Amino acid sequence: MADLPHGKEGTDDLWDAMYTQRAIRYWQDKPVPRDLLEKVIESASKAPSGSNLQPWVFVVIDDAGTRKKIGGALNDFYEGGPLKDMIAQGQQVEDKSQRLMMQGAQAFFSKLANAPAMIVPCLYQLASPTPDPTLLEAGSSIYMAVQNLMLSARGLGLGTVMTTAHSLVNDTLREACGIPDDAYPVALIPIGYPDANFGPTKRKGLDEILRWNTWS
């Protein structure tokens, strides 16, 4: 697509939002108004779900102390284990995209506490025949809600990145946010005004991902 927006501004065009949304791990030191946070959660709520159960609750964290507790726990995990060495090694490879990915991972762990807000989508009150309500078949609808959330954030000029790093500090997250035992966090999404540009993203072409009728 030609003339895609490249920068930090929002967009009202859905195609522009889809084609320029990217993982943002750097944010301006600027709070996000609650009415905008409510707007992205409202957009998430419009996603379809099996039997229209809408089995989700979104915990929005804009309290500085809670954000620092969660971000600090994740940074401690990063600093105190093999993950730091793995990411450091990944920044030495020849593949530029791999190096950039590892640099982004390092920035995520070190700067997460500075994100103006975080969103934790949780599966909740999920009627499922499976013994584990976190199974993909049981709760996959929530990820459509997450994509709605992230696209609407992009439209509002807010940067996000979806991670599952919350699982590394699940007990800290649950305690800090008072998440009950029958709710299941599925992601951790920092959100804020970006200190990095949106813009066209490099993705695999259709020749690599599309099959008509049969695989071969």
Tens-digit pLDDT profile for residues 24-37: 988 999 999 999 99
Q: What is the pTM for the complete model shown?
A: 0.87
Residues 6+ apart with CB under 8 A from 27: 111, 114, 115, 116, 159, 190, 192, 193, 194, 195
Residue 75 in contact with residue 110, Cβ under 8 Å?
yes
Average pLDDT, integer, range 148-152: 96
User: pLDDT band at 1, cuts 50/70/90?
Assistant: very low
Residue ranges and CATH numbers for the domains of the chain are 14-62+115-198 (3.40.109.10)
Residues constituting the chain: 216
Q: By the 8 A CB rule, do 1 and 19 touch?
A: yes
Token look-up 């800290």 returns 172
Mean pLDDT, residues 121-133 taken together: 69
Comparing 153 with 105, the larger pLDDT belongs to 153
Partners of 117 in the β-ladder: 191
Q: What are the angstrom distances between the C-alpha of 172 and each of 67, 73, 158, 168?
A: 11, 7, 26, 9
Q: What does the pLDDT look like over 192-213, one tens digit per residue?
A: 999 988 988 888 999 999 999 9
Quick one: which of 32, 31, 19 has its CA closest to 198?
A: 19
User: Cα 214 from chain centroid?
Assistant: 33
